[in-house]
Structure 1
Amino acid sequence: MSEPSEAPDLDRLLSLLWRRTAPPAPARTGRKPRLGLDDVIAAAMAIADADGLEAASMARVGERLGVATMTLYTYVPSRAALVDLMVDEALEQRHLATIGGGPAEWRRRLVDYAHRTREIYRLHPWLSQVSAARPPLGPGTFREREFVLAAMADAGLPLEQVNPAAVAFTTFVTAGARQVGESVLLRQATGKSTDAWWQERTSFWENWFDVEQHPTMTRVWEADGYGGGTEEQAAVAFDYGLQKILDGMAAG
């Protein structure tokens, strides 16, 4: 979970989050800075991708960039602010603006959004370590909100139902995406996949699992209802739930 942003830094943080939409700053004279904010964010994300969110400390980022830790505070007011910038940058990498389609294609647009979100959590598994309850107020967050709300409105839902439907949908998608990220983090930390973890516990099924106490689980197993490995099962379950939710939206 990321640190809460300090209130006094809010205006500065917002200016950093929305830096690409702000009017260009006056050209500076003199020597051009060796680093930019995007370099700091990219370095922090690379460390977090490899070693988890906690590893992306200000000291570690400074070391990667070859600058003193205190130098980073000329770019970001705090590590919490840096995490917000990292999260919003990751969300922007879904490139939602490139998902085309008119009102009649609302369903396909939402499926594309869901799959891109799941992939972003696979590429940046540390996103699963950040609370989604208080998202960064940046373009990545708001592009997502506008995208999903527009798709729900195009589905023909009454306007008073659009936001609840969007929240329900994104809650499901984020939960599935976080599961992907958590699996990658566990593989990084332990050196083994979740499938390998289950295979090491074969003795549980042989010596402890009671078929009489778990009749439904047993029937599903005998019907080959659990499919392939855990990652495959998770992907199948995600698509199943996604289609059922969208069926409900279509039905109004």
Structure 2
Amino acid sequence: MATESSGSGDPARTIALLWGTLQLPRRGPKHALTTDQIIAAAVEIADGDKDLAPLSMRRVAESLGVGTMSLYTYVASRAELVEAMLDSAYGEAVAELEKIDADDWRDGLRQIAAIEWAMYLRHPWMLQVFTGRPPLGPNAIAKYDLELRVVDGIGLTDVEMDSAITLVHTHVEGVARRKVEAARVERQTGTTDQQWWQAIAPALAEVHDPASFPLADRVGLAAGQAHQAAHNPEHEYAFGLECLIEGIAALVRRAAG
């Protein structure tokens, strides 16, 4: 579940920070850091924690060996820092998106999804930020532009192109969140999903009559045996992606039709 929201900092200053046009004070001590160093340190901390909640300006400052107040010369608030962290992570995705060389838009969407999936697993803290008000940094916009190129000219309207890319994002983000949350629960409990099922099975067997829910029992058993768990994020990711690609293909055929 998202616990923070982008777009909560000062809009003008945030844009200046993201686009590198923020003017640092000329008076006072010489600037010992760069904004990129601060952002990189913050990302490293959040990656290590696999959590955004413990991140603070103080921790970032300590990791850089400077006083906390000195960071505010570069980044005015934690909210701005989070937006800059997001755009930095998007930059990694941009580097991969630029390598996409797909003759077929379907393969292109699969590559977009794979890049997004890897990004979230590399930086699980990103899933804690609601981006309904997206960070409009250079990498975020470049990422969007590169993704749109995959579906440009296939027969969709501009609005449909946007919706197709959003659909891929929403699917990948949702499944990645389930995977990350499952890993978090396992770390907190010290118990795997398979161990949990084994522990709860005897108690469930005493109260559950398979004949009362034959369809749930049959399908649930088949899925459980296939995945060795109640859910398999990798299967959900691949299966859902193919379903939505087929749906977009049907829309393209109808438009051509």
TM bucket by the smaller chain? 0.7 to 0.9
Kindly report the root-mean-square deviation, in angstroms, between the aligned alpha carbons of the 2 structures: 3.1
Q: CA deviation at 1:180?
A: 2.7
Show the 5 A alignment for 1:36-55: 36-51=34-49, 52-55=51-54
**Identity level (%):** 34
- Which one-letter code corresponds to 1:246 in the other structure? I
**Is the CA contact 2:46–2:125 (under 8 Å) kept in the aligned structure 1?**
yes
Q: TM-score, structure 2 length as denominator?
A: 0.81
Q: Distance in 1 between matches of 2:209 and 2:17?
A: 57
| SS in structure 2 at match of 1:14 | helix
Verify the 8 A CA contact 1:126 1:181 in the aligned structure 2. no
Cα offset, 1:197, TM superposition: 4.2
| Structure 2 counterparts to residues 166-245 of structure 1, below 5 A | 166-223=165-222, 227-230=226-229, 233-245=232-244
Contact 2:6 2:135 in 1 (8 A): no
For residue 227 of structure 2, give the secondary structure of its aligned residue in structure 1: coil
Change over 3 Å in CA distance of 1:242–1:194 after alignment to 2: same
Change (3 A) 1:153 1:64: same
Partner of 1:112: 111
Counterpart residue type for residue 50 of structure 1: G
Tell me what 2:4 maps to: 2
1:81 alignment partner in structure 2 = 80
Structure 2: give runs of 5+ residues left out of the alignment. Answer: 252-257
TM-score by length of 1: 0.82
Relative to structure 1, the CA distance from residue 166 to residue 53 in structure 2 (aligned partners, 3 Å threshold; closer, same or farther) is: same
| 8 Å contact kept, 1:106–1:154 | no
Instruction: Indicate if the aligned counterparts of 2:148 and 2:162 stay in contact, CA closer than 8 A.
Output: yes
SS in 2 for 1:133: coil
Query: 1:222: Cα distance to partner?
Result: 4.5
SS of structure 1 residue aligned to 2:130: coil
Q: What is the DSSP-based 3-state SS (H/G/I as helix, E as strand, rest coil) of the residue aligned with 2:226?
A: coil
Could you tell me how far apart the structure 1 residues matched to 2:177 and 2:128 are? 9
Structure 1: tracts of 5 or more residues without a match: none
Q: Secondary structure at the match of 2:4?
A: coil
SS in 1 for 2:210: coil
Conserved? CA contact 2:88–2:139, under 8 Å? yes
2:131 aligns with: 132
SS in 2 for 1:13: helix
Residue 100 of structure 1 corresponds to 100
